[in-house]
Every structure is written in C-alpha cells, then in structure tokens.
Amino acid sequence: DSGVTQTPKHLITATGQRVTLRCSPRSGDLSVYWYQQSLDQGLQFLIQYYNGEERAKGNILERFSAQQFPDLHSELNLSSLELGDSALYFCASSQDRNYGYTFGSGTRLTVV
Amino acid sequence: AQKITQTQPGMFVQEKEAVTLDCTYDTSDQSYGLFWYKQPSSGEMIFLIYQGSYDEQNATEGRYSLNFQKARKSANLVISASQLGDSAMYFCAMREVNAGNNRKLIWGLGTSLAVNP
C-alpha cells in the first residue's frame, strides 16, 4: 500500500456519460497530481493541486475538471466521455518541497 | 521544451544477469530531477530511484543504480542480478520545476523488460 488511495479501481461506462475519480493523498502530502496513461500517448500530466488550489494545468481537456477539497482529497471529473478517454488515470501526491512522488494504483476507465 | 527519450521499446535479459535501460533527457534548466519507475502488469507505478542534477554521485537503491552522465544528458537505469519479478515496463521521468513552482513529471514512453529463466 503506497498510502495514496484511488477509487474506483475499474470503471466501465458508456460514451456521453460522466464519471468521478477519487484520490486520497498520502498523509502529510499537500500536492496532488493527476496523470492519464493511454496506449497511444503514454503518460500525460493533467493537473496539479496544492493545498486546495490549482497549481498547474497540463494536457487536460475542457470536458475534464478537478478539485482538491479541504481534507486534501481530490476528484477528477470526466464528462461527455468518448472512446478515446479510455485510459489508466493515476493520482500521485508529494510534499511540495520533497522530491518524492507517491502514486496510487490507478483507475482503469473503459468507455464503451 | 523538456523531453525524455527511451529508445528501447523492449529488452530481454537472462535471469541473474545485469541489464541497462537507456534514458536521455533534454532540458535547459540547471536544477532538475530524474526518476525511474516500474510498472508491472498489474498497473501500479512503483518508484525505483532518483537522481538530482546536482548530485555528484550516482544514485543506488539495492539492485538498482542510475548511471548519470550529465554532459551527455543521460540517466540510464542498471538492474543487477535480474529476477523474474523484474519483468515490467520501466519509465524514466524528469521533474519540471517552472516559475509557478509546480513539480510535474515529464515521462518517456517506457521500456518493456522481459526476464527469461
């Protein structure tokens, strides 16, 4: 157990639907990062939150949004899902000044 | 722009032998960090080793060592005494620190390592 908890582990949904992926960071970590891993594009940074505030945005589609709550857990919302959104979505956390990143086990999203 | 290149899509190694996985990087930053992660077929991302750009000595963690050649911008992972459980995808990543002090990782495309008995 890495200390970063992602739920659900697997998600199968239809095109056009909306899903929410949840991440609880490791205790003491203030930063949460979301990454998407797909077969055609590899690992892509989506977005980072630090202590509740958005810190950086990467290749995140407008159909996707995220937030970090006061208890530091984060949610990634994916809407109007397309087949191409099928991927493994990782959450990672870090203490901002620490070089270490701890990854959750990922949520495997399948859009059918 | 920062970039990580892993030129070996797949590698084979005999059990108990050593293997080197290549990674080259491109950055104009003076301060950066390089990471190697392992992703077994189960999907989780496992941290292996870290090298800071100012670290003078090559990083080592058990059977893993990082051959850091700053002038050549390479950060190759060496796995000694390969085990069957080392069969996995291996990713090289670089920490980007921008003006906003975010520390996202830039990833290579990975190398698939198969350890043969």
CA distance A42 to A35: 10
- A23: tokens are 């991440």
pLDDT at A26 over 70: yes
Instruction: Out of B37, B44, B106, name the one closest to residue A105 (CB).
Output: B44
- Range name among A8-12, A98-102, B21-25, B113-117 with the lowest pLDDT average: A98-102
A31 in helix, strand or coil?
strand
CA distance A42 to chain B (A): 6
Query: By the 8 A CB rule, do B21 and B79 touch?
Result: yes
CA distance B115 to chain A (A): 22
CA distance A92 to A103: 4
Q: How confident is the model at residue A19 (pLDDT cuts 50, 70, 90)?
A: very high
Chain A's closest residue to B43, CA to CA, is: A105
Chain B's closest residue to A102, CA to CA, is: B47
A2 in helix, strand or coil?
coil
Tens digits of residue pLDDT in A30-70: 899 999 999 888 899 999 999 999 988 998 999 999 999 99
What's the angle, vertex CA A51, arms to CA A101 and CA A36, rounded to 5? 45
Q: What's the average model confidence in pLDDT over B45-73?
A: 94
CB contact under 8 A, B100 and A56: yes
> Touching check for A105 and chain B: CB below 8 Å?
yes
Q: How confident is the model at residue B102 (pLDDT cuts 50, 70, 90)?
A: low
Among chain B, residues having any CB pair with chain A shorter than 8 Å are: 33, 35, 37, 43-47, 50, 52, 91, 93, 95, 98, 100-110
Q: Could you tell me which residue, A29 or A98, shows the higher pLDDT? A: A29
- Note which residues in 17-56 of chain A have CB less than 8 A from chain B: 31, 33, 35, 42-45, 48, 50, 55-56
CA distance A59 to B103: 15
Report percent pLDDT > 70 for chain A: 96
What confidence score (pLDDT) does residue B1 get?
76
Sign of CA dihedral A69, A84, B90, A10: positive
- A3: tokens are 């200390």
CA distance B96 to chain A (A): 11
Sign of CA dihedral B79, B1, B54, A101: negative
Residues in chain B with CB shorter than 8 Å from the CB of A58 are 104
Instruction: Out of B47, B50, B107, name the one closest to residue A43 (CB).
Output: B107
Classify strands A10-13 and A107-111 as parallel, antiparallel or unpaired.
parallel
The count of residues in chain B is 117
